[in-house]
Amino acid sequence: MNGRMSHSRRMYTGAVVIATMLMYMGMQVSAAPERSLQRLAMHPTTQNDIVLHDDAPRYTMVGSVDVRTRTLQMRQTLAWVNHTGASIRELPFRLYANLSDFAGQTRIQRAFVDGIVTPFHYNLSHSIVTLRLPTAVRNGATGVVTLEYQTSIPLDVGKTKYGAFNDDGRTLSFASAYPLLTTWQGGMWDITDPDTKGDLVNSPIALYDVTLTIPATHQLVSTGTAITQTFTGDTRTVRVVSGLQRDFTFVLTTLPVTTRMVDGTRINVYVDADEVAGSAQTMHYASRALRLFNAQFGQYPYNELDIVAVDASSFYGVEYPGLLLMQAATVAKPSRLERTVVHEVAHQWFYNLVGNDVQTDAWVDEAIATYAQVIYLRAFEGEEAAQSELASFQQQYDNLIERELDGPVDQHMRTYTLYSFNVLAYAKGALFYEALRMQIGAHSFGRVLQEYVATYRYQIADSDSLYELATNQCTCALDTLYRTWIRP
């Protein structure tokens, strides 16, 4: 932890908007219109990536949000290609809203397969709903299922619950608020409830196409990019396409926006009008981080990155695909702001573009996103600032050792305590990256990170992925280093 467009252009209607927008983007709708639309959310240099991942799951959602009752009413169709190797009769979906940390509710109203009403059942905690398919989906075949559901978010619980799923009075945050097909692991569906110390959502890259009707008083900010917008009475209807993204999160907000283009990506920052300095600094840090990481890790593959301040206490910042939520107090407090923005921007490469299992291999994205703070300081402030950041990680780690709580960085989320997770996966993990850089040299280290992103982009990396690339790059033995820092 730790899209949209600015609405200067308005008041188009219906099909005219699609044609206008596509002409504006210099594209045309031809034989594969849906794919063409999804390209609009990608960076100009990565639009062909869509073609390479044509069999990614496709979520199409149409619905509306009632701000007064804080309720999302949605109809969702998932087209999913079965790559499990098995014949599938049951499809389990995660309902994160029903976890106690979220304090919300998702209720499935109806399920359909090929237009036929299909039975479903919940697990004990209602965090999983499972559809019983009328016929099996063979390996390699495509299954299409439709769910109608309602998701409600709580009011003003950011101080005690997960603030990324909350109405704080100005922003309604719907983090992972839809039924998400769970992952297939070790020959079965993973239906265990996640440990909620850190990030929760494991999912493959997917394509989202979402049309939402919301009050005209609010802006829709989301994963992906808005391609059309129409106004009817006091509502607006916005259609968003995601490009290749790992999850879909959206917020409705009345906060003002500032916008800047960086390397072909539009950064939108939504912060309270009273926090002029915090808003400008957030934009400044995000712009510098994006430009630096584009150069060091490879181009951010999307045309938009949104940052929204929300009332929350369980995080300083939290990453979603193409969307960062920042604790409003962090935006107002300069001391933590820069490292938090940099950390969350780095997660766009590590967690989103290069995925990892955030429960079994939580350190894989957290350690490198934390180390990215050092990379950033070294680039913009010099070696002394980088060493100072490393010294603060060392201090945290020394305190842990003193309390006799040292352990391997690589653990399942369940075996950390909250304290040991925060020190081992973040601080000790970042110190490991510095030790790796010292051992193989700065040049090789830079190459390894580039190769890591190039190799695992849109895929799932694990605890050994970087080890293998680094070993090949340096033609040296890194077992001692990994035993010292990482491995159980």
> Residue 2 or 281: which CB sits closer to Zn ion?
2
> Residue 2 or 237: which CB sits closer to Zn ion?
2
Cα–Cα distance measured from residue 236 to residue 127, given in angstroms and rounded to the nearest whole number: 31
Closest C-alpha among 290, 301, 289, 318 to residue 353: 301
The packing angle between helices 276-297 and 334-346, to 10°, is 30
Residue 479 Cβ vs Zn ion, minimum distance, rounded to whole Å:
27
Residue 357 Cβ vs Zn ion, minimum distance, rounded to whole Å:
15
Q: Which residues bind Zn ion (CB under 5 A)?
A: 1-2, 366, 369
Task: Round to the nearest angstrom and report the end-to-end CA distance of the chain.
Answer: 23
* CA-atom Rg of the chain in angstroms: 22
Contact between 291 and 379 under an 8 Å Cβ cutoff? The reply is no
CB atoms inside a 10 Å sphere around CB 415: 12
Residue 369 Cβ vs Zn ion, minimum distance, rounded to whole Å:
5
Residue 118 Cβ vs Zn ion, minimum distance, rounded to whole Å:
38
> Residue 5 or 449: which CB sits closer to Zn ion?
449
CB proximity list for 234: less than 8 A, separation 6 or greater: 215, 216, 217
> Residue 252 or 345: which CB sits closer to Zn ion?
345
> Residue 227 or 372: which CB sits closer to Zn ion?
372
Q: Is the dihedral of CA 237, 243, 248, 251 positive or negative?
A: negative
Q: What is the DSSP string of 417-469?
A: -HHHHIIIIIIIHHHHHHHHHHHH-HHHHHHHHHHHHHHHTTSEE-TTHHHHH
Residue 366 Cβ vs Zn ion, minimum distance, rounded to whole Å:
5
Residue 1 Cβ vs Zn ion, minimum distance, rounded to whole Å:
5
Residue 315 Cβ vs Zn ion, minimum distance, rounded to whole Å:
9
CB proximity list for 280: less than 8 A, separation 6 or greater: 258
> Residue 116 or 418: which CB sits closer to Zn ion?
418
Residue 148 Cβ vs Zn ion, minimum distance, rounded to whole Å:
34
> Residue 324 or 460: which CB sits closer to Zn ion?
324
> Residue 96 or 426: which CB sits closer to Zn ion?
426
Residue 371 Cβ vs Zn ion, minimum distance, rounded to whole Å:
11
Cα–Cα distance measured from residue 176 to residue 204, given in angstroms and rounded to the nearest whole number: 14
Per DSSP, 56 falls in state S
Q: What is the DSSP string of 107-172?
A: EEEEEEETTEE--EEE-TTSSEEEEEEEEEE-TT-EEEEEEEEEEE--BS-TTTS-TTEEE-SSEE
Per DSSP, 194 falls in state P
> Residue 167 or 366: which CB sits closer to Zn ion?
366
Residue 214 φ then ψ, to 5°: -135, 165
Cα–Cα distance measured from residue 275 to residue 91, given in angstroms and rounded to the nearest whole number: 46
372-374-379 Cα angle (round to 5): 95
> Residue 306 or 366: which CB sits closer to Zn ion?
366
Residue 176 Cβ vs Zn ion, minimum distance, rounded to whole Å:
16
CB atoms inside a 10 Å sphere around CB 136: 14
Residue 362 Cβ vs Zn ion, minimum distance, rounded to whole Å:
9
> Residue 2 or 225: which CB sits closer to Zn ion?
2
- Report which secondary-structure segment, H or E, holds 388: helix 383-402
Residue 425 Cβ vs Zn ion, minimum distance, rounded to whole Å:
9
> Residue 350 or 452: which CB sits closer to Zn ion?
350
Contact between 260 and 267 under an 8 Å Cβ cutoff? The reply is yes
